[in-house]
Structure 1
Amino acid sequence: MTKPEISIVPEDPRQPEVRRLIALSDVYMEALYPSGSNHLVDVDALSAPGTVFLVARRGGEVLGSIAFRVIAADHAEMKRMFVREDARGCGLGRRLLEALEGAARRRSIARISLETGIRQPEAIGLYRASGYLECAPFGNYVADPLSLFMTKLLRP
């Protein structure tokens, strides 16, 4: 018997099973970084206008998520990239990232920027392999020795 296909579609982050995934992400990030270096957004921010929240599921089971929020007319910030530990290692992070970039292009977003922590080498490697380049802090961020800022220009 084969496993069901993975779907990645926009969903409401206020769903109970998605909230559990976000809570797992919070626990993971809190174990890696002090509170001043954690830039987590809550479910209300993820539900706000100008935000796209994508969920990866297999057979109805939530495996991961990724979001962006518009921060300027053609610029978005990536938030909440997270894959459950038992779903890692099969390319789901890359699929989530590609789905996010596609959703951004459909909304005429020309640039995606992100903040990630330096203690996440797998995520940094994925972003670099996907064309993200280091940049200065953007938006309301300030330089932090535990943060890495990256950006990518999207091609149509």
Structure 2
Amino acid sequence: MAKAANIGVETSLQDDVTGLLAEAAAVAARLYPGEPRRPITPGSLAAPGIHVLVARGDGAALGLCAIIERGDGEVELKRLIVTADARGRGVGSALVRGAEALARRLGARAIVLEVGIENRAAQALYRRAGFTPRGPFPPYRDLPVSLFLERPVPA
């Protein structure tokens, strides 16, 4: 299996990104059947102020996440997904480090995120990366299936 060699900002309008977003939607549907979810499409990620980080190994997309500029000194980390065969190989951690580096370049003071309470693997990744609990932030509201986390962006 290819290892993650590169993390870079790419367009969301490519087939392998579409496939990863479909995988993320399937995971969410499995973990939260019947719960409302905010759909994310490649087109919605192509908007100004949204940056898609893609992890690649030997040219193949192994994972991705989106960084959304919030305009309040924070960026939101959204839709981090790693392909099933690349999990456990450090791809998720590399994406979080890439998100931090991008947040720093954007001048953000903090990274915020929302993660579902059933997504224990993602929670563990974020906690290992130094994220701590916080309250909801717009456009989210406090829901029993959501956990909100943040971490400062080191200078």
Band of TM-score, shorter chain:
over 0.9
Cα distance in structure 2, aligned partners of 1:44 and 1:114: 21
Q: Secondary structure at the match of 2:115?
A: strand
TM-score where L is the length of structure 1: 0.92
Where does structure 2 lack aligned partners over 5 or more consecutive residues? Answer: none
Q: After TM superposition, give the deviation of residue 131 of structure 1 in Å.
A: 1.2
Partner of 1:127: 126
Kindly provide the CA deviation profile for residues 48-90 of structure 1, in whole angstroms up to 9, marking residues without a partner as x: 1111111011111111001110112421111110001110011
Partner of 1:97: 96
Cα distance in structure 1, aligned partners of 2:106 and 2:145: 31
Cα distance in structure 2, aligned partners of 1:88 and 1:5: 11
Q: Secondary structure at the match of 2:43?
A: helix
Q: Is 1:106 matched with 2:142?
A: no
Percent of aligned positions that are identical = 34
Partner of 1:140: 139
Q: After TM superposition, give the deviation of residue 43 of structure 1 in Å.
A: 1.6
Assess if the C-alpha contact under 8 Å between 2:5 and 2:58 holds in 1: yes
Cα distance in structure 2, aligned partners of 1:154 and 1:5: 23
Output the amino acid matched with 1:109.
A
- 1:127–1:100: structure 2 CA closer, same or farther, 3 Å change rule? same
Assess if the C-alpha contact under 8 Å between 1:37 and 1:144 holds in 2: no
Q: After TM superposition, give the deviation of residue 146 of structure 1 in Å.
A: 0.9
Q: After TM superposition, give the deviation of residue 102 of structure 1 in Å.
A: 0.3
Cα distance in structure 2, aligned partners of 1:62 and 1:142: 32
Output the amino acid matched with 1:63.
L
Where does structure 1 lack aligned partners over 5 or more consecutive residues? Answer: none
TM-score where L is the length of structure 2: 0.93
Partner of 2:57: 58
RMSD, matched Cα: 1.6
Cα distance in structure 1, aligned partners of 2:86 and 2:68: 25
Assess if the C-alpha contact under 8 Å between 2:31 and 2:118 holds in 1: yes
Query: How many residues are treated as equivalent by the alignment?
Result: 155
Cα distance in structure 2, aligned partners of 1:4 and 1:27: 24
Q: Secondary structure at the match of 2:143?
A: coil
